[in-house]
Structure 1
Amino acid sequence: MIGLSAPAAGQSWFEQLLDWREKHISERTFVLMLAFAVGFFCAVAAFTLHWIIAQIALLLTSSFNEKTANWLYLVYPVVGIYLTGLFVKYVVKDNISHGITRILYAISSKRSRLRGHNCWSSVLASAITIGFGGSVGAEAPIVLTGSAIGSNLGKLFRMDNRTLVLLVGCGAAGAIAGIFKAPIAGLVFTLEVLMIDLTMASLLPILISCVTATCFTYIFSGSTSLFTFHLDAAWTVERVPANILLGVTCGLLSLYFIRAMTLCEDMFSRFKDKPYFKLVIGGSMLSMLIFLFPSLYGEGYHDINQLLNGSTEADWNGIMHNSLFSGHGSLLVIYVFLVVVTKVFATSATNGGGGCGGTFAPSLFVGCFGGFLFARLWNMYEVGVYVPEKNFALLGMAGVMSGVMHAPLTGIFLIAEITGGYALFLPLMIVSVCSYLTIIIFEPHSIYGMRLAREGKLITHHTDHAVLTLMSLDSVIDRDYTPVSPDMELGTIVHKISRSRNIFLPVLDAAGNLLGEIYITKIRHVVFRIELYHHFTASQLMTPPAATLRDDEPMTEVMQVFDRTHADWLPVLDADGHLKGYISRQRMYGMYRKMVADMSED
């Protein structure tokens, strides 16, 4: 490269490149360059994943007779889950499920560091699962892939932790923008779901990543979108009551989606040490559901497009092809209702059985079918002014996504962008907001954040809470202490005090359990009386600690304990009660103030 001098002794060409970059390219400019690279790789990953899924599905189902049920639906999903399980167990050798939750955990607990294999493993695993019929979405795996690309590029070029968080956000935003060709939705998704603060310093890199991913996706796959929608009936103000009621319905559907998904996941987690048992249960459940309702096969985008573009009964009845319901148009409402109810179980069975995929596409699917069902029942019973089924199918997609992800802006802009449905922008807003307001009554966190929220590891836009979440308890533990045994005499204790840099000595039994503490200030009345050195032991001089902390305790609770006890030092114990070290109030608050200052900088 022009401008690079001969490498110094012991310095590799890459280290020389890093030195040259630091001298000639500013940090801000280089971050923008990395954001461009992240956007490009996100587009490549999204295109690759969808291409593989399409090829597998075409190979397996192209010969199906659409007018009858197909028994191969009982076989393909089990094979897909089994192959995915083998790939994860013997190739990846790591847990790659719950992609977006994994990103949130990396941001809150691992300083935004994602493993290198996440750049490709989720793409292959989810392609196998979905191509063979797994009823999950490809979006969460792609978001994990994009975030991993951003994280690992940042680590490669030795970016600091704040820049790593930004690059993780660029990867997630680029993934959403690339897979849906929706740059604004990618930006808003990063803000709402990943809780990355949108400052002036972070806005431009995320936008660059989104625009780059979208442009390259157009280059790779043309101008076609995942969903197509043509507005036949313009929105009128008379439909506001129906829109509000649809929003509330979507909020309740979201609640059902989250609760049922959580229940099924808890059930499968009980058998985490029995992978073949999970495969049998999950695979059998999924195969049977897909055999009965072929709309549950894969992501379900084909049937979504049928509902969004249909204008006659024959068009909408097409979603029942390949099923036992085929040819029975009078059963359409029952079929759609059963699909809405069973989709969450099909998704849970896919992931629980060993497959890999996300809940992004299932939430769109449930929303589309739920919105169509709402409109069909509304018109059948003439509740009010006529409402177009296809319009409400579109609005339902935004409503359920807003509720499940607790992200109304993402739901609004994503559906508007991917369908060109800007003529329905106002009803999209009404439905999304009403759905969100309904779901938060019952669930304060999204389906992605609820697991981390229970552990106190969820990052929010509240700076104080975010800093406490990011702070690691382990990083502030002082392990340099001088222990004494309970039968140690005062004379030996004084000798220990002279060698200790702390004002206290922990009293431990033979197993390392904390029995009490000896504070120098509390024994000064005897410490200088030599005649008493053989009359007192540690067990007589020790006092119980003001409080003890667990090594897995959230920093918010640690702060509360310090405020309640007014202690300067508190001991930290592990799960077995053994002393790990001490936390200093001064050191903890010093780190807290520094992190607040760092987060406050643009």
Structure 2
Amino acid sequence: MINRLLLRISRISSKNTALEKGYFVLLASFVGIFVSIIAAVFRELLTRTDVFFLMQDSKLLGIPKAFAIPALPAIGGLVGGYIVYKLIRKPGLHGVPSVMKAVALRNLNLLHPHTALIALTSIFTIGSGGSAGPEGPIVEIGSVVGATVGKKTRISRERKGLLVGCGAAAGIAAMFNAPIGGVVFTLEIILRTFSIRAFAPVVISAVAASLLSRGYFGNYPPFYIERTLVFKYVSLRGLFFYALLGLFCALLSILFMNLLKRVQDVFQKIKIAPWLKPCLGGLLAGIIGIAAPDVLGEGYQAISENLRASLTVKWALALVFLKILATCLTLGSGAIGGVFAPSLFIGACAGGAMGSFFMHYTPNLVNTDAPILFALAGMGGMLAGTLTAPLTGILLIFEVTGGQYQMVLPLMFTVAISSIIARSLTKQSIYTMSLLRDGFNVENAALPNLLSLSTAAAVMHPPTKFLKETDTLPNILHHAAEVHDTIFPVEDKEGRFIGLITLNDLKSVLAIGDMGRIIIAADIADPLPRTLTPEDTLDKALNLMTETETEAVPIVSDRQPDKLLGIIRRQDIFAVYKKILEGQDTEIFLE
């Protein structure tokens, strides 16, 4: 019923520009509201799972707490691993990287088809004590909602992609009560554009999601700062210490990303069933949790304690490195979860430790509120370094802490320093690193990966007149002069396609001399050539040409592999590139 209504409205609105824009605003609002409802259910399930596992751990298992703490994340990893590798079977990319890839390639079919199971897995991972965050699953859920709404309506491909961004922004807005942060995160990381066309619908969706979420959970920031606390303005000399914090956050970001990559490599080499690896990762993270329970789960409690300046310098620094290790063990083993919350945890602890240190040893150069201000700035600096998203690091931290204006300057300065240093040491964010591991470079996606958006059916040429397999060399040469082509398909007596003959093949035969005159077409044609179907993409065709060292690929029927439908030449693919560079509408891209 809803599908029919959306289609009917889209047909009417497509005839009027003003109605079309109003209809898209309505769709963006609908996506925001629907994602907000899902986010509320997700948060409630996560909270209940967290209480079930962590608050009653010793009662639940009937064993000493020291043994129960590592056992719980292991159980969560076991359940999550079973869902991912036994029920889904092909987990692939998930979370924010999967959405980034789908948007970059403008192919919404790349979004994970089992998003609900992925979300359920993350609930078990985080709720049982696995060190991960909820933002990855909720961004993916929101994006799938936006993509589904786009597919059910008759709107342009560009607007379908914008609805994916609307869903992502709505997820962040509802989950963190941060509409501004959700918008900036989406524009900076998911859509990678700040154009007005993208800005307006994403804002509308985030506002709709946040309004509904606040009605259910209340209008409270996730990380509360006492309203009686009034920050002092930071002096010019004080900025030097925030520069040091920015440097520290950048180095921690690099450590976090590199260690995660190494742990993934180690788990990939471990010879046990893939669905058992998250269990092992959860067990190892749980062992760390025996000494430092704060590193388990989202870690919001430790963040709040840093914002109250209640952690010692040594313990805060210890939590920094223990959280990095626990997160890498959890996610590196294949468990499902995000890196957003762990990054906030690491930044808050690092900043709180440095603030307390400077306040103790240089009381004349920093304010008495330094531990809290440094914790806030550290959260932004860590986000900026890990996600390569400085605007998100500034605006989201300001929003989720209900911050005061006095915190903006040190926050901005720390984020800037962290971004510059992290970007100079590595060109990748933690998200693009995952994409590279999957064989996709989002930084270079603008042109090369456009080939993934075009199918062979759009550019293939119908075959010329067929040669018979019994045609002799003189007949073949006469045929070549007649059709003015360089590639000639060959068929057998039953009219079935058996191969191609190229001009280079003919040159090789002519070089033999008189012996070439007793050769027939079947002798020259490439036996059992590699073929593609009309649904295959041009990047696959180009890769096949490179692999087989040929200049053309035959396109055959999916149901009848011996029926030639067309031929794609290398120059056809280069022509597509040229049209893209010249800005022409090629009409070849996937819906």
Q: Structure 2 residue aligned with 1:201, among 197, 206, 210?
A: 197
Q: Structure 2 residue aligned with 1:72, among 68, 80, 99?
A: 68
Q: Structure 1 residue aligned with 2:43, among 50, 60, 70?
A: 50
Q: Structure 2 residue aligned with 1:375, among 346, 355, 360?
A: 355
Q: Structure 2 residue aligned with 1:582, among 548, 568, 571?
A: 568
CA displacement at 1:97 relative to structure 2: 5.5
2:120 alignment counterpart: 124
Distance 1:37 1:384, change over 3 A: same
Asked whether 1:399 is paired with 2:381, we answer yes
CA displacement at 1:584 relative to structure 2: 4.5
Asked whether 1:178 is paired with 2:174, we answer yes
Q: Over residues 258-300 of structure 1, what are the superposed CA-to-partner deviations in whole Å (9 max), with x where a residue is unaligned?
A: 1111111122233487225414531321110111210111100
CA displacement at 1:434 relative to structure 2: 0.5
CA displacement at 1:201 relative to structure 2: 2.0
- Paired residue type of 1:475: T
Distance 1:278 1:16, change over 3 A: same
Which deviates more from structure 2 when the two are superposed, residues 413-422 or residues 250-259? 413-422
List aligned pairs for 1:133-532, cutoff 5 A.
133-230=129-226, 231-237=229-235, 238-271=237-270, 274-310=273-309, 315-316=310-311, 332-382=312-362, 385-387=365-367, 388-421=370-403, 422-453=405-436, 457-460=440-443, 466-472=446-452, 475-476=455-456, 478=460, 489-494=472-477, 497=480, 502-505=485-488, 517-518=502-503
Does structure 2 retain, via aligned residues, the 8 Å contact 1:132–1:298? yes
Distance 1:298 1:91, change over 3 A: same
2:307 alignment partner, SS class: helix
Does structure 2 retain, via aligned residues, the 8 Å contact 1:261–1:348? yes
Which deviates more from structure 2 when the two are superposed, residues 265-274 or residues 43-52? 265-274
Distance 1:29 1:588, change over 3 A: farther
Instruction: Give me the whole-angstrom Cα distance separating, in 1, the residues matched to 2:165 and 2:289.
Output: 35
1:193 alignment partner, SS class: helix
Which runs of no fewer than 5 residues in structure 1 stay unpaired?
2-10, 317-331, 544-550, 562-566
Distance 1:496 1:32, change over 3 A: farther
1:102 alignment counterpart: 98
- Paired residue type of 2:429: S
CA displacement at 1:449 relative to structure 2: 1.2
CA displacement at 1:342 relative to structure 2: 2.3
CA displacement at 1:445 relative to structure 2: 1.7
Distance 1:83 1:487, change over 3 A: same
1:120 alignment partner, SS class: helix
CA displacement at 1:506 relative to structure 2: 8.1
2:517 alignment partner, SS class: coil
List aligned pairs for 1:12-31, cutoff 5 A.
19-20=11-12, 22-23=14-15, 26-31=19-24
Which runs of no fewer than 5 residues in structure 2 stay unpaired?
59-63, 492-496, 527-535, 556-563, 587-591
Does structure 1 retain, via aligned residues, the 8 Å contact 2:282–2:329? yes
Does structure 2 retain, via aligned residues, the 8 Å contact 1:108–1:457? no
Q: Over residues 538-586 of structure 1, what are the superposed CA-to-partner deviations in whole Å (9 max), with x where a residue is unaligned?
A: 899999xxxxxxx99969x99xx9xxxxx9x934699xxxx99633435
Q: Over residues 157-204 of structure 1, what are the superposed CA-to-partner deviations in whole Å (9 max), with x where a residue is unaligned?
A: 143321221111111111122212222222211222124323222221
Q: Structure 2 residue aligned with 1:61, among 40, 48, 54?
A: 54
1:548 alignment counterpart: none
Instruction: Give me the whole-angstrom Cα distance separating, in 2, the residues matched to 1:381 and 1:514.
Output: 80
- Paired residue type of 2:33: F
Normalized against structure 2, the TM-score is what?
0.79
Q: Over residues 458-489 of structure 1, what are the superposed CA-to-partner deviations in whole Å (9 max), with x where a residue is unaligned?
A: 445x8xx6143233286257485689899984
2:579 alignment counterpart: 593
Q: CA RMSD for the aligned pairs?
A: 4.3
Asked whether 1:41 is paired with 2:34, we answer yes
Instruction: Give me the whole-angstrom Cα distance separating, in 2, the residues matched to 1:160 and 1:36.
Output: 18
Does structure 2 retain, via aligned residues, the 8 Å contact 1:113–1:152? no
Does structure 2 retain, via aligned residues, the 8 Å contact 1:368–1:397? yes
Instruction: Give me the whole-angstrom Cα distance separating, in 1, the residues matched to 2:537 and 2:170.
Output: 34
Does structure 1 retain, via aligned residues, the 8 Å contact 2:385–2:422? yes
Does structure 1 retain, via aligned residues, the 8 Å contact 2:94–2:112? no
Distance 1:438 1:113, change over 3 A: same
- Paired residue type of 1:290: G
Normalized against structure 1, the TM-score is what?
0.77
CA displacement at 1:447 relative to structure 2: 1.0
Instruction: Give me the whole-angstrom Cα distance separating, in 2, the residues matched to 1:597 and 1:417.
Output: 42
CA displacement at 1:84 relative to structure 2: 1.7
2:61 alignment counterpart: none
1:582 alignment partner, SS class: strand
1:133 alignment partner, SS class: coil
CA displacement at 1:437 relative to structure 2: 0.5
Instruction: Give me the whole-angstrom Cα distance separating, in 2, the residues matched to 1:77 and 1:34.
Output: 40
Asked whether 1:570 is paired with 2:548, we answer no
Q: Over residues 187-223 of structure 1, what are the superposed CA-to-partner deviations in whole Å (9 max), with x where a residue is unaligned?
A: 2112221243232222211110111111111111001
Does structure 2 retain, via aligned residues, the 8 Å contact 1:505–1:519? no
1:32 alignment counterpart: 25
2:568 alignment partner, SS class: strand
- Paired residue type of 1:269: Q
Does structure 2 retain, via aligned residues, the 8 Å contact 1:116–1:152? no
Does structure 2 retain, via aligned residues, the 8 Å contact 1:82–1:354? no
2:430 alignment partner, SS class: coil
Distance 1:437 1:116, change over 3 A: closer
Q: Over residues 135-156 of structure 1, what are the superposed CA-to-partner deviations in whole Å (9 max), with x where a residue is unaligned?
A: 1000011001111110111011
Q: Over residues 25-59 of structure 1, what are the superposed CA-to-partner deviations in whole Å (9 max), with x where a residue is unaligned?
A: 83322221111011112212222222111112223
Q: Over residues 336-364 of structure 1, what are the superposed CA-to-partner deviations in whole Å (9 max), with x where a residue is unaligned?
A: 22321122221232234443211111111
Does structure 2 retain, via aligned residues, the 8 Å contact 1:181–1:218? yes
Instruction: Give me the whole-angstrom Cα distance separating, in 2, the residues matched to 1:127 and 1:178.
Output: 17
Instruction: Give me the whole-angstrom Cα distance separating, in 2, the residues matched to 1:419 and 1:96.
Output: 34
For this pair of structures, how many residues does the alignment match? 539
- Paired residue type of 2:426: E
2:529 alignment counterpart: none
Q: Over residues 509-557 of structure 1, what are the superposed CA-to-partner deviations in whole Å (9 max), with x where a residue is unaligned?
A: xxx999983169x97xx9xxxx9982677899999xxxxxxx99969x9
Does structure 2 retain, via aligned residues, the 8 Å contact 1:147–1:168? yes
Q: Over residues 304-350 of structure 1, what are the superposed CA-to-partner deviations in whole Å (9 max), with x where a residue is unaligned?
A: 0111023xxxx33xxxxxxxxxxxxxxx4333223211222212322
Distance 1:15 1:391, change over 3 A: closer
Distance 1:22 1:304, change over 3 A: same
